[in-house]
């Protein structure tokens, strides 16, 4: 084997490949979502309170949430290029170290009362770095997972992208709920909200150690000469636009149901914060269990039927599901679980669908940039848009916003060629 060549095909160690991708991905998303679940505490400490409007700090916090998302396309492009040029494992190693460092920075962010405007500046910097890491993580791990799959198992392997993402989110939600239930408000506002971020930095080192044993899936023949930074966009513009259309409805539904719904229920239905977090934790566990089933179904029956199940389901049911919310834990849990069933039609196979669109030479960068840009435009802004509608007195418009985007994506799904049973381009 020459110095320019890489290792043998990855399908010889599929379980180890899944572990390397999944554990690291779970740590990445734990760090990312800890911010979402503790947003109200961060708002009280890092942003000055508006004199006449208690939503001002929360809006500012969700604006920083969106800022992190807008670094994700940059991360998808840069880390995707690293994955295409130097290997998927190299990119995965960089992203998890970057996430650990930025998580620690969030945990050590001083309060506005102690350092003034420097506090939100530090928080913004940390979220920018987290966005860079997460954008790169999706590009590299999506490619890595699907390329590691054996024949007829790409959908199943794809599902572990969101199994691991959800496990990370579940742990973040569970720790947040535990802290809220066991600590006083004073303790949570003083130091409790910092604990998950410091823990996330430690877990990132564990993920780094596990990923060092992963087997490379990129072959040397795909990389001679190395692809340019914008080669995927320049040579595959149609595929890039297709990624955006596939993702738009999925990302708004995903971030509404898995991240923003607890806050939405607090603001619009008067549900207690602890009940909202608990319902979110239970529904996330249910969601994680559904993912492999969706992946297996797509391997047998195709990608398009599941995508249409998701898109048309949300187009028809997003408004009634969100309108039925009231001050009831049981109702919130049922609404969340119903949405999770529909959402599985997208999340369980999105990695496979994306990877099957691009050739291997530019697969990671080709997926990373358009996907992350679409998520930034529609997913990252979901909490801000929903809260803004509430402040403007039009909270009822947000469910329609979700439904329309899912309908648009459904049109794309109808025209999408079926790739489930075709061989993956190598």
DSSP character string of 113-128 = HHHTTHHHHHHHHHHH
Backbone φ and ψ of 80, nearest 5°: -65, -40
DSSP 260: I
Q: Which residues of the chain have pLDDT under 50?
A: 1-10, 51-52
Q: How far apart are CA 339 and CA 205, in angstroms?
A: 34
Average pLDDT, the chain: 85
Q: Is 16 exposed, middle or buried (0-12, 13-18, 19+ CB in 10 A)?
A: middle
Cβ atoms within 10 Å of 296's Cβ, excluding its own = 16
Residue indicated by tokens 């039009």: 394
pLDDT at position 304 is: 95
Q: How far apart are CA 55 and CA 392, in angstroms?
A: 11
DSSP character string of 373-388 = HHIIIIITTHHHHHHH
pLDDT at position 334 is: 94
Alpha helices, H only, 273-362 = 273-301, 303-323, 329-347, 350-355
pLDDT tens for residues 95-131? 999 999 999 999 999 988 888 778 888 888 888 898 8
pLDDT tens for residues 41-100? 887 788 766 534 555 566 676 667 667 777 888 998 998 888 888 888 888 889 999 999
* 397 Cβ neighbours under 8 A, 6+ residues apart: 389
Residue pair 413/99 in contact (Cβ under 8 Å)? The answer is: no
Residue pair 66/202 in contact (Cβ under 8 Å)? The answer is: no
Task: Return the beta strands (E) in 126-240 as ranges.
Answer: none
State the helix-helix crossing angle for 237-255 and 397-414, rounded to 10 degrees: 140
Token representation of residue 259: 């991240």
pLDDT at position 12 is: 60
Residue pair 22/343 in contact (Cβ under 8 Å)? The answer is: no
pLDDT at position 374 is: 92
Q: What is the model's pTM?
A: 0.82
pLDDT at position 353 is: 94
Residue pair 426/149 in contact (Cβ under 8 Å)? The answer is: no
pLDDT at position 235 is: 87
Residue pair 394/318 in contact (Cβ under 8 Å)? The answer is: no
pLDDT at position 385 is: 86
Token representation of residue 89: 């494992």
Q: Which of 196, 137, 175 is nearest to 351 (CA)?
A: 137
């Amino acid at each position: 084997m020459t110095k320019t060549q890489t290792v043998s095909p990855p399908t010889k160690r599929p379980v180890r490949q899944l572990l390397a991708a999944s554990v690291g991905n779970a740590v990445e998303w734990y760090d990312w979502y800890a911010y979402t679940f503790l947003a109200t505490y961060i708002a009280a400490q890092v942003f000055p309170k508006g004199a006449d409007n208690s939503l001002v700090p929360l809006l500012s916090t969700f604006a920083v949430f969106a800022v992190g998302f807008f670094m994700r396309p940059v991360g998808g492009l840069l880390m995707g290029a690293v994955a295409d040029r130097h290997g998927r494992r190299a990119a995965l190693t960089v992203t998890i170290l970057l996430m650990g460092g930025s998580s620690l920075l969030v945990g050590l962010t001083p309060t506005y009362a102690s350092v003034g405007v420097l506090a939100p500046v530090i928080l913004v910097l940390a979220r920018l770095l987290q966005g860079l890491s997460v954008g790169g993580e999706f590009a590299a791990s999506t490619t890595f997972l699907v390329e590691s799959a054996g024949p007829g198992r790409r959908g199943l392997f794809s599902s572990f992208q969101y199994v691991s993402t959800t496990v990370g989110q579940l742990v973040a939600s569970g720790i947040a709920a535990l802290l809220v239930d066991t600590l006083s408000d004073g303790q949570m506002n003083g130091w409790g909200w910092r604990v998950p971020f410091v823990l996330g930095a430690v877990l990132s080192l564990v993920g780094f150690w596990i990923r060092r044993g992963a087997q490379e899936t990129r072959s040397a023949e795909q990389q001679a000469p190395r692809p340019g930074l914008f080669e995927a966009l320049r040579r595959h513009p149609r595929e890039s636009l297709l990624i955006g259309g596939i993702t738009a409805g999925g990302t708004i539904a995903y971030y509404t149901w898995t991240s923003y719904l607890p806050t939405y229920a607090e603001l619009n239905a008067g549900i207690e914060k602890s009940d909202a977090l608990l319902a979110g934790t239970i529904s996330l566990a249910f969601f994680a269990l559904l993912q492999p089933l969706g992946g297996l179904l797509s391997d047998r029956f195709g990608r398009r039927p599941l995508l249409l199940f998701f898109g048309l389901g949300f187009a028809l049911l997003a408004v009634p599901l969100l309108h039925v919310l009231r001050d009831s834990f049981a109702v919130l849990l049922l609404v969340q679980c119903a949405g999770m069933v529909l959402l599985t039609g997208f999340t369980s196979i999105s990695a496979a669908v994306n990877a099957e669109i691009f050739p291997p030479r530019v697969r990671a960068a080709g997926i990373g940039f358009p996907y992350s840009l679409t998520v930034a435009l529609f997913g990252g802004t979901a909490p801000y848009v929903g809260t803004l509608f509430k402040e403007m007195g039009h909270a009822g418009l947000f469910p329609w916003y979700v439904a329309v985007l899912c309908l648009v994506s459904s049109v794309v799904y109808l025209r999408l060629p079926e790739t489930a049973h075709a061989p993956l381009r190598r």
